[in-house]
Amino acid sequence: MSKVVVITGASRGIGAATARLAAATGYSVCVNYVRNREAATRVVADLEVAGARAIAVQADVSVESDVVRLFETTDKALGISCGLVNNAGILETQMRVDAMSAARLHRVLSTNVIGAFLCAREAVRRMSTRHGGAGGAIVNVSSGAARLGSPGEYVDYAASKGAVDTLTIGLAREIAEEGIRVNAVRPGFIYTEMHASVGEPDRVDRVKAFVPMKRGGTADEVARAILWLLSDEASFTTGAFIDVTGGR
């Protein structure tokens, strides 16, 4: 039976690219989405054409009961997961901190931080040798913004990804003896639909001059880093970060 991976936020962008690459390397894939059922269904169809077993599961990762259902559905349909890619995340419109509402902060932190914790919890309960599991790997999708702060634009998003970095370090050390590796990828300016969803579809082209490589990255370039961290090739790597930022 093939290995099973749960990828959150996998109906588009980095998540969808990771799902396709995971399927190509032999994984059965749970494609999680929150709203766009049609896009998730298209991703699953692509994976099935490639010969992989795949399902699409609607779940809002900021809602505990949804996360539990996400993993239970995967257990029944595909088998117990040995991989989790914590990719789901939201970005709001550009704004200074002194203009941010509490509602905005709750939305960003609930999805980007609480969601990552809840999904990691469910993965650990299945993978940890302490709970009778066979081990596995968790890859958190952070952001180069965690190091840079995104002043004048997305300090809340950057802060949420800083929390994901801390989760990565702490959880990696907490469960290192239980057969689970926890690592993170920090993408930089990547061409995905996320920027268009908050009103600036050309953002990567606007800022790519600040990147030493003078270009934006692709979702596939991030996906390849994620798949390496999931794989046995990274068997002695935990609590580590790969910056896919073009040198920024």
Q: What is the pLDDT of residues 163-179, one digit of tens each?
A: 999 999 999 999 999 99
- For CA atoms 120, 126, 129, 133, the dihedral sign is negative
What's the rounded mean pLDDT across residues 137-142?
98
The whole-angstrom separation of Cα 191 and Cα 193 is 7
Domains of the chain by residue range? 4-244
Task: Give the pLDDT band of residue 59 (cuts 50, 70, 90).
Answer: very high
pLDDT the model gives residue 202: 83
Q: How many residues does the chain have?
A: 248
Residues 66-86 have pLDDT tens digits of 999 999 999 999 999 999 999
Active site residue 191: no
Mean pLDDT of 54-72: 98
Q: In the predicted model, is pLDDT for residue 8 greater than 80?
A: yes
Cα gap 18→231, rounded to integer Å = 13
Residue 43 pLDDT greater than 90, yes or no? yes
pLDDT given at position 198: 62
Distances (CA, A) of 128 to 41, 178, 222, 234, 246: 31, 5, 26, 18, 35
Percent of the chain topping pLDDT 70: 97
pLDDT (tens digit per residue) in 183-212: 999 999 999 876 666 656 788 888 899 899
Residue 74: per-residue pLDDT: 98
Average pLDDT rounded to a whole number, residues 5-33: 98
Task: Given CATH 3.40.50.720, say whether it is the number of domain 4-244.
Answer: yes
pLDDT of 99 over the 80 cut: yes
Average pLDDT score over residue span 51-55: 97
Contact in structure between 91 and 197 (CB atoms under 8 Å): yes
Whether the predicted pLDDT of 217 surpasses 80: yes
Tell me, what amino acid is at 189? Answer: F
Print burial letters for 167-197: b (CB count within 10 Å at least 16), e (below 16): bbbebbeebeeebbbbbbbbbbbbbbebbee
Q: Of residues 27, 33, 154, 157, which has the active-site annotation?
A: 157
Confidence band of 114 (pLDDT split at 50, 70, 90): very high
